[in-house]
Each structure stands twice: as structure tokens, then as C-alpha cells.
Structure 1
Amino acid sequence: MRGCHAYAYLRVGLGVATVIPEHKIQEILDRVDLVSLISRHVELKKAGREWKACCPFHQEKTPSFYVVPEKRFYFCHGCRASGDAVSFVQRYLGKTFVDAVKDLAQELGIDVQGEEDPGVRERQRIKDATDFAAEHFRALLWQQDEGRAARAYVASRGISEETAMAFGLGWAPDAWSLLADRFQKQGMLEWGQQAGLVTPRSSGEGYIDFFRGRLVIPIRSPEGRAIAFGGRLVGREDGPKYLNSRESRIYNKSETLFGMNQAREEIHKRKAAILVEGYFDCIGLYQVGVRHSVALCSTNLTAGHLQVLKRADAKKLFLLLDGDKAGLAAVERLAGPLLAAGADARVALLPQGDDPDTFARRQGLEGVERLLESAQPLTTHLFSTVLPHGTASPYEEKMAALDRLKPMVGQFVPGLERNEFLKAIAACFGWTVRVVEDSLRNLRPKPPPQGAQGAPAQQPEKPSEKPPPWLETLYVASILRDSRLLARDTFRVCDELSHMGLRMALAHATSGHGTEDALYEASDAVKRAVEEAWRQLPERGMTLDHDFSNICREIMVRRIDERLAYIRRATEQTPGAFDLTEETRELLTERVELLALKKRVLEELKPASSGTKAPMQPV
């Protein structure tokens, strides 16, 4: 079975994309006559229910190349080439994965161009415009004269050049249309506007830059792709200190955390994340070695943010906020969604006058670690803040405290979390739960969006996606982590991948677009599986090499064993040697060749004692 919900992307010119859904690819594989296709290039001879020939991919005198029309695949016992119709066209004619799909579709009369998705095309063009802008800003920061003021500001914040480069910081000069003019020359002006990077002039024709006179901070997806920007005013006071990209087809504030691409691995390692409010807080912590902090992109904490953290395996959240009134207010603002989600959240308040950035610079990694160790549970901090004297507090203080807690309770839905929070309030106030409940009886969770007739809007359910095969996921995740491993795949396991989503991610990553793009457009099922595989795989180096070899070995052995099992079932009813049909003889010959191939695989890909055994199942 092929995987579901995956797409191939065809690029024609700058940013133009056509989408081929997997059901179209599967239709091609189901309808193509594999024997007819291969026989155009290879002289095939019937061998029972299969066809055989001398392999077109290596020199040989005895045929070891088989085509199995029943299962729609080919394989060679000599050079280990194998795959389906798409992979044959790729390998024999030197086509890319997408071009091979297009060629076969054209022959079969399957309209893949008709599957063009304007939304996907628009997203791709916005991504191209955002990439172009990110490089534009980055280059200007490091220009000798143009970026001098911005570099001085970066240095004044204690940020090294190395850290500035790691976060891709840039500079938007105080010019009206520098980026807009470049977009115009590239034919990207419309998409620069869609990305929120340029805006029409208030009077007259033309466009002006959205970011001007600002240090530019790229906001990235968890995979590392620039999807928006924040801009900090430098050198003048006539405007807001911070300016942020508006939302677009590729940027959703409620699902984006700044620094997640840098912090994801460390969050998984520690099973914890630090939540700060500012870009420079996150950057400053990173520079001193605190690598598991993320920042809100000038918005409230949402269920989407918490889901992103959950996917990164953050079991515990630390709120690292200023110790002034603004910091205390921020804790109360963030508490609602955290408590409603049942998150294990703790509060680490900084000394008066400090923010995470300045504290980290002064106290370093050890100071930050000590502060986190002293962090209080969120409810403990809340109750000690809103009602410092607890049950001994006078009536007026209790009512004022209850008023501050009401917005938090209002974010709960009926259930265990709400009941437990009400019990905690009752214990703090010295009331019964019934009294607390009566005091809050007018609070109800926000109703769902209403449809046209006043009924709750019905959202179409997305079909659940089955995760791709785990071994195949480990294989692809290893190559996405270190592309050099593909050259070590001597048995061409890449041709054995059955999941189209993984095949397309691999093809995209190894065709020059890189890992970021490969996962940016991958289905949720593929993305989740690859991220889980990354957590279990080692970093680059000999250990990853050893594990990759073990993964290749396991996949090949399983494929061979599957074929051997088929041959055993097909030949087990044979009465005797004199009663063998031609088809049975071919199968028994194939069995001998498969056993020889299995022996070579086991010998050439011996498990290395210095490596770790690759995880065979997700955890």
C-alpha cells in the first residue's frame, strides 16, 4: 500500500508550482503496463508469470533482471536495482521523480496539469518572495557601509557575529522602496505584497517597503524556513519600536514560535522548553548556551503554540519573564491557556530591572540554570501573587483576586482540569468548591463559531493519515540529517521505498532544494514521523553511519524475506522434481539467487559493534 496525502511539486519558472496528489500517482502506477514500458528498452522473455532479461543497469551474460507485472515492480539479483514504473523511468532515462511521473501521465492520458492548485502555487510564490527578502536583508547587514549602524546596534545588545549569522539577522535601510524595486525587477512584486513585505503607496503609483530603518529578524518554521519577519527600529524614534509581518498563507502567528527551529533538538533532549516574550530574549539565551527557549511572535499564547511544543516533546514549560509589573501581568495572561491545557508550567521571575537577555549576559548559563531550578509551579505563583495572605486575606482582597482569576477559569472547558483548578482556588481562598462555582457561574467557555443559520459551523473532518513505515522513515530521516549517506546506499534502498510521501520528500531534498523545503510541504503524517525518527537517531558522525547501515540492512533483508515467502507458498505444492513446471523452475532459480543476495547483504552490511542498534519501532 502506498502512503496517503502526499504530493509532487513541479516547478516551472520562478515559484510556479503544479501539484500532483498521490491518488494521481497511484492511478499511474495502477494503469501503466510495466512489461510494455520496460520492453521498449529491454528484450524481455516470458518466465512463468514473470518476465526476465539481462539487466539494463549493469553488464551481465546470464539474465538476472525480473519484471513482476502482478506486483508492478522489477528487480535485479545482480546489481540489486528494483522499483516500480516511476523508478524505472527515473533510473533508465535519467529523469527526476516528478518528470518521470509527468511523462507516464502524458502517455496514459492522465491529466496531472488539471490538478494545479492555485493555493499551493500562491504559497510557493510567497515562499520564494520571503526567501528573496531574507537574503536581501541579510546581505545588507554585512555590507561595509550600509549595515554599519545596524551592526553597531547588534553589538550593543551583546550579540556576536556568529549568533547574528545563526539567526539570519538582516538590515532594512531607511529607504522607501529598495526591496520593492528589486521585487519589481524580479517579477515578484505581487508576491512580495502577499507576503506583507511591500505595500502600495498611499498616494500615486508604486510600492514602498514595509520594513525601513529596522534590524530584521527572520521568523522561521520549525523546519527552518523563513516565513515572516520582525523589525526593530534602529537610529530613529518616529514609529513603533517593533514591527512584525502580518499573517499570510505561509505564516500563522497562532502556530508559530520564534526560535523553534533552533530549539527543537534541545527541547526534545531536556523534555522541557523555556517560553520568553521577546526575540532578543531568545537570541540572548541561545548565545550563552541556553538552547531550548522560544518566544511568542507578539501574540497571545494559543492552543496552536502548545501543540507545536507538544510535538517537540516538551513535557515541562518554564515561563522566564521580567520581574516587574509587566512580567507579572504576562504570567497572568499566559496562565489561562496553560492551565486549561493541563500543562506542567513553572514560573521563573527575574530580578527587578532584568529581562532574560540582560540576565543571561550577566549571569551566563549557570545563572540561568539556577533560576530555572528555583522556578515555582504556575498555580503556586499565581495564588501567592493574586492573594499573598491566602485564607487570612480580607473580603476585599479575595474579591479582587477572584476577579483576576476569572479570565483564566473562563478558558477552561468542563472537565477534570477545570474541576481541579476550582479546588485549588477554594483551598487558597478558604472557601468550598460550591461557593467558588457559584461565584463564577456566569462564566462559560466561548461558544464555537456560528454557521450561516446560527448553528455551530461544521468543519470538514480531515481523513486520518496512517504513519509511513517506520524503517523507511528512519532511512529518509537519516539522509535528511546527512545527505552524504545517500552515497553509502550501495544496495539502492531508495528504490525500495513504498511510501510516496517519503519518496517525494527524499527526491525534493536530494534535488538541491534542501531539507527545509522537503519537510515544509510534507504531509503532517510524514512530518511527524520524520521528526520522531530524528529524535531517535544520533547526530552526524560514525554512529549515524552505523545506524544507517543497519537500517539499510534491515529493509533489504525484509524485502528479500517477503519474496522468499512468496516463492515458498508458490512452490510448496510441487509433487516432485520431475513434475516441475517452467514457472516453478524459474521461481526455484530465483530463490537460489535471492539467498545469495541475502548472504551478500548480511556480509556487506554487518552490524557495527561501535554503533547503536537503530530503533525498529517508534517510541
Structure 2
Amino acid sequence: MSVRSRRAEGVGHMIPEHKIQEVLERVDLVSLVSRYVELKKAGREFKGRCPFHQEKTPSFYVVPEKRFYFCHGCRASGDAVSFVQRYLGKTFLDAVRDLAREVGVDLEAAQDPGARERQQLKEATDLAAEHFRALLWEEEGRRARAYLASRGISEETAKAFGLGWAPAAWTSLADRLTKAGMIEWGLNAGLVSKRNKGDGYFDFFRSRLIIPIRAPEGRPIAFGARLVDAEEGPKYLNSRESRLYNKSETLFGMDQARDEIRRRKAAVLVEGYFDCIALHQEGVKHTVALCSTALTPGHLKVLGRAEARELFLLLDGDQAGLNAVERLAGPLLAAGAAAKVALLPQGDDPDTFIRREGAVGLERLLTEARPLTNHVFLTLLPQGKEASFEEKMAALERLKPVSAQLPVGLVRSAFFGALSAWCGLPAAELESSLRSKAPPPAVKPAPKPGQPPARGAAPQGPAAPRPAPVKPPDALETLYVAAVLRDPRLVVRDTFRVYDELSHPGLRLVLAHATSGHGAEDALFEAHDTLKRAVEAASRQLSEQQGSALEHYFLQLCRAIMLRRINQQLDYIKRTTSQMTGAIDLSEETKQLLTQRIELLSLKKRVEEEIRPSPPGTKAPMQPV
């Protein structure tokens, strides 16, 4: 796919879901369909010959109050966007744009400038990742490949992590970005810098092995870079933070580790990129690393989304590693995380240990790991109650940075209770001595009307409207999308055209992006967390379905969704006609509904006859309700 087409598709993907909903609410569906179909009023509905198949007897209905159309003959159904897609052959995104222009919804104004910048950063970062990766496997990358071999990193592992090479040339990447029309985007991403004198740009990364930092979905968002065979500059350089990359919410290796973390319900945390890569290569695939920053609540949130219930700290077996445990203890204890410390032998780091002892040795180390509080107390005050007064005071002084991060409440009280039991001093006295370090409650009262903002505070404009909560998607529809993300070719097997009838705008956006050739990871990159979690859960539910089994499951899903739609229509007719006592009381509208019921029952029979028994080992989808 060309850069131009990728850019156009990417911008379309930034249409907010609530704007799509606004378009659907503003469109007069009857007027829209009437341009192409002669409709006649039939009670609360409008009826005509279906534009999607040849028929003599009208079986195509438009229901304006529900903004929905349905054909009993060919089973076509959906909303205004799907009608434009189906009748005019447009993509989902183009159909939304066309209707938005028609009804006066300004999609460009609705797009957050920050989101537009994020898209530009993604484009530039994608190009850079491809550029670096290609150079590693050319003659230019010979030195970098030799360095990888010296560290025991295989070609397979290097390719799995997308490693690359930034040559010594000053403008290798800058030239590529300029040619693609992305040089300003590359500048904003920190990939290039402006020359101090004269025009032009030069590369930020030179003579370095490139380590892509990826989002959990797998897309590169930043880079770490290790100096190779050069004397100038620091050993490691990292991308600066941007709208795309926030290192306090990013864990290196999460894209590779996510599935294994979910399986084990545990994660191993290391501090170096190559520590993480080496552990993955040896089979310890639930390992992640910090990106040159302290552990934050954001990191713990990422681990929580991956269902990590236990965290193992695997740090260097020297004083720096011991200090790192103390540094990490505060946020972990404050969050109430179940953390353990696995002690490496003196002088070892995870990389050297795993190469010498292998996965079996490391698993043994993890089995022997001790709880974080036990480790901290034992390290700072090995003799416990038997320690001298001076030793206890020194230990308490070192614990101040840890206790300072504990919020007032149960976690803080439990910590001081455990510390009291260890050192033999009263818990109340311990907490009192460190109370001045307790963090204040994070409450920011709103200024009163007419009251100026506090000194140093940014000027406040009108309060931004609170975004509407994102509605969780339907379970069956989410399974449908998850199956297509796994194998986009399945869409052509959907004879019911369920993709035109998905009720959740977010699911339709994801599906439109995935079927444009960008892949599952990119399709979910900008999705709201509520939607992303639902699709990921559905993907796990499909984890055992492969090949023909996945295809059969997908077809069952299509039919199940179709049957549910038919049952919903039948229920509506039943409720509407149940008040009539005899044929003499039937209105024209009721007669139409009863005729529609006969057609629906006939359609339901045909759909049910298409459902075949599941092959052995295939779990059938949920039945329609």
C-alpha cells in the first residue's frame, strides 16, 4: 500500500464514534432510500421493491423510527451508512464522509488536532521502523549483526523484535522522510533534527542498533538505540516522549509477552532491553522491561489489563539492583500489587544468567522469589528485632522514600503493621515518625464562580464537556470482528453481509480499518479501551479456532446474528399485534405486519437450514436470543 493511500485511510480512522452516531441521527433514512427506491407508506414503515435483488412483490421495509431497513427476500439490512455502502459500493469511511457533508456534520472540525498529530507520528515512526529493519539485513548492517551474535541473539529473535540498524550516514532516514513528504512529522517524532546552520535535517540515530518500542497491539511508537563500534555519544539513546509515546505508560516487550502473561497470570520485570530480549529467546516469554524510567501506576495499569496478578522483579545482582528494588517498592506497595523479588547471583544480570543457566535455572530462581516486603525488610534490617538502635534508625531513614508513596488508609496501615512485627517497634510510633512524608490526597477543588485561579495555575476556559461513556459492544458482533481480525479473508464468506449491520460504530471502524489491509494490531491501535478490552476478550475466546474450524465458527456467528435479527423482528410484530381480538379489528398496518411475519418465518427457516453441525473440536457460538 502506498504512503498516500495509507495516509488517507489513517485520517479517516480518526472520525470520532459519537460523530458517526450524530450522522445517523440526522439522516432522513426514508428520503435517502427514496432517491433509489419507490417507497409507499405501510403503517409506521415504508415498503418498496428491494434495490439489492430482483423481485416482483415488495419485501423491502424502511423503519424510520429505528433508522433501519430490512429486506425479507435477500436479507439485506442496516442503517443509512450501510445502505450507501451497499447501494453505491462505497467504503464505510467514505459513506460516513458523504452523509456527513450532506447533513452538515463537520467531521474535520470534530477531529482532535492532537489525534491528527498522533496519526502523523505513527506514519513517520512506521516508515522509520521499516527503514531501520531493512538496513540491518543488508550489507550496511553487517557490524550490527555481528554485535547481536556476540550477545547470543539469533536472527529469528532479532526479526521477532523488529531490530534494525541506523548507519553512520548523517541523512539516511532524513532523506527517506523527505522523499515521502514526512520530514516535519519525523521532526516532531524526534527522528531527525534541524541543522544548526543552513537548511536541511540530520538523523537523530546514527551508528546504532535500533530496538523498536511497541504498543501492546504491536505497532512501533518509539525507539531505543544502542551505540555500536563508535566512540561518540552515550551508550543508549531513546526517543523522546510525544503524543504517541509516553514512557510512563509503556513497557518494552509487552506486545510479545501479552499472551504468555495472560496464560500465567504473572509477569517478569527487568530493566534492560537486551535482558528482556534474551529471556524471550530462552522461552521466558512473560518478560517485560521498563523504558528508562521509574515504575509508575501507568505501568501497573498496563500489566493489569494483561491480567498479571503477580509481578516478579528480576534485577541485577549488584548494589544497583538492590537499590532498584527499593526504588520500585514504593509504587508497587502503594498499588497493593502482589510482587516478589528474584535474587540474581552477585555480578549477574538477567541476560548473562539466562545464557548460562537457561530457562530451567531462571524458573527455579522465580520459584524461590520472596515477597517484596520481606525482601525490603530483610535487606535493610537483616537482624530484625535483634538489630541495634542505630541500625533500626538507619533502616527507617531508607524507608522514608517508600512510605512517602503509600496513601493514607489500609495499605499504609498494613505496611506499618508488618514493619512493626519485623523490627519490634510500635506501629503507631513508626507511622508517626514518617507521617510528614505521607502524600496528600489528590483532590483539586474547583474554583468558585468569579474566583481567580491559583497563582501559577493555567488560565481556565469553559469547562470541557464530559465525554459520553462508551457503550460496550454486543458480544456476538465482537466475536465476529475478532474472527475477521484473525483472518480478514473471512469477510468474503459472509453471505449475510453482517459487516453492513454491526450496531456499534467503534466495531465498524475497527472492521473498516482491518479490511483495508492494515492488520489487526493497527485496527485496534486507536480504539477506546472499552472496545479494545472487549475485542481482546473475544480473541481469547477464539484462541482454539484455527483454519477450517475458525471459518466454520465464523459462518455460525453470521447465521446466529442473522437469526437474532429475525427473532427481534418477530417479537416486535408479536407485541404490536397481540392487542387485536379479531380479524374485523385488523388495521391496514396490522395486516402488513402479519404478512411480514409470514415472510420472516419463511426466511428464518431458510437460515436455520443453512446451519450445519459443528465439526469435531469446534465450539459453537452463543445461540441468538
TM over 0.5: yes
| 1:405-458: CA deviation from partner (whole Å, max 9, x where unpaired) | 111110011011111011111111111102212321321216759894159999
Shift of 1:597: 2.3
What are the ranges of 5 or more consecutive residues in structure 1 without an aligned counterpart? 1-9
**Measured at CA, do residues 537 and 498 of structure 1 come closer, stay the same or move farther in structure 2, by a change above 3 Å?**
same
Question: Match for 1:110: what amino acid?
Answer: V
**SS across alignment from 2:436:** coil
Shift of 1:11: 7.4
CA distance in 1, matches of 2:620, 2:321: 47
Shift of 1:464: 3.6
CA distance in 2, matches of 1:238, 1:343: 41
Contact 1:177 1:209 in 2 (8 A): yes
**SS across alignment from 1:158:** coil
Deviates more, 1:177-186 or 1:579-588: 579-588
Match among 49, 52, 56 for residue 57 of structure 1: 52
CA distance in 2, matches of 1:493, 1:607: 21
**SS across alignment from 2:361:** helix
What are the ranges of 5 or more consecutive residues in structure 2 without an aligned counterpart? 448-452
Match among 602, 607, 611 for residue 608 of structure 2: 602
Residue in 1 that maps onto 2:70: 75
Match among 298, 323, 333 for residue 329 of structure 1: 323
**Measured at CA, do residues 192 and 407 of structure 1 come closer, stay the same or move farther in structure 2, by a change above 3 Å?**
same
- TM-score normalised to the size of structure 2? 0.92
Contact 1:197 1:211 in 2 (8 A): yes
CA distance in 2, matches of 1:18, 1:282: 33
CA distance in 2, matches of 1:543, 1:294: 33
Alignment of 1:544-583 (within 5 A): 544-583=550-589
**Measured at CA, do residues 177 and 38 of structure 1 come closer, stay the same or move farther in structure 2, by a change above 3 Å?**
same
CA distance in 2, matches of 1:423, 1:117: 49
Deviates more, 1:250-259 or 1:556-565: 556-565
- TM-score normalised to the size of structure 1? 0.92
**Measured at CA, do residues 287 and 407 of structure 1 come closer, stay the same or move farther in structure 2, by a change above 3 Å?**
same
Instruction: Please state if 1:254 is matched with 2:254.
Output: no
Match among 351, 376, 392 for residue 386 of structure 2: 392
Residue in 1 that maps onto 2:407: 413
Shift of 1:520: 1.2
Contact 2:248 2:296 in 1 (8 A): yes
Question: Match for 1:47: what amino acid?
Answer: A
CA distance in 2, matches of 1:340, 1:373: 24
Shift of 1:380: 1.3
Q: How many matched pairs?
A: 607
| 1:531-581: CA deviation from partner (whole Å, max 9, x where unpaired) | 232233324505544543443343223222211111011111233235433
**Measured at CA, do residues 578 and 446 of structure 1 come closer, stay the same or move farther in structure 2, by a change above 3 Å?**
closer
| 1:561-610: CA deviation from partner (whole Å, max 9, x where unpaired) | 21111101111123323543332222112112222222333332346253
Residue in 2 that maps onto 1:520: 525
CA distance in 2, matches of 1:180, 1:192: 8
**SS across alignment from 1:63:** coil
CA distance in 2, matches of 1:52, 1:482: 37
Instruction: Please state if 1:42 is matched with 2:37.
Output: yes
Shift of 1:465: 2.9
**Measured at CA, do residues 354 and 18 of structure 1 come closer, stay the same or move farther in structure 2, by a change above 3 Å?**
closer
| 1:481-505: CA deviation from partner (whole Å, max 9, x where unpaired) | 2223323323222222111111111
Residue in 2 that maps onto 1:113: 108
Residue in 1 that maps onto 2:281: 287
Shift of 1:202: 3.4
Deviates more, 1:472-481 or 1:294-303: 472-481
Residue in 1 that maps onto 2:450: none
**SS across alignment from 1:91:** helix
Question: Match for 1:96: what amino acid?
Answer: T
Residue in 2 that maps onto 1:214: 208
CA distance in 1, matches of 2:13, 2:488: 26
| 1:150-191: CA deviation from partner (whole Å, max 9, x where unpaired) | 111111111111111111100000121211122222221111
Instruction: Please state if 1:584 is matched with 2:590.
Output: yes
Contact 1:17 1:120 in 2 (8 A): no
CA distance in 2, matches of 1:33, 1:438: 68
CA distance in 1, matches of 2:117, 2:406: 37
Alignment of 1:96-111 (within 5 A): 96-111=91-106
**SS across alignment from 1:147:** helix
Residue in 2 that maps onto 1:131: 126
Shift of 1:616: 8.6
Contact 1:224 1:516 in 2 (8 A): yes
CA distance in 1, matches of 2:622, 2:571: 25
Deviates more, 1:269-278 or 1:34-43: 34-43
Residue in 2 that maps onto 1:22: 17
Q: Say what the alpha-carbon RMSD is for the aligned residues.
A: 2.5
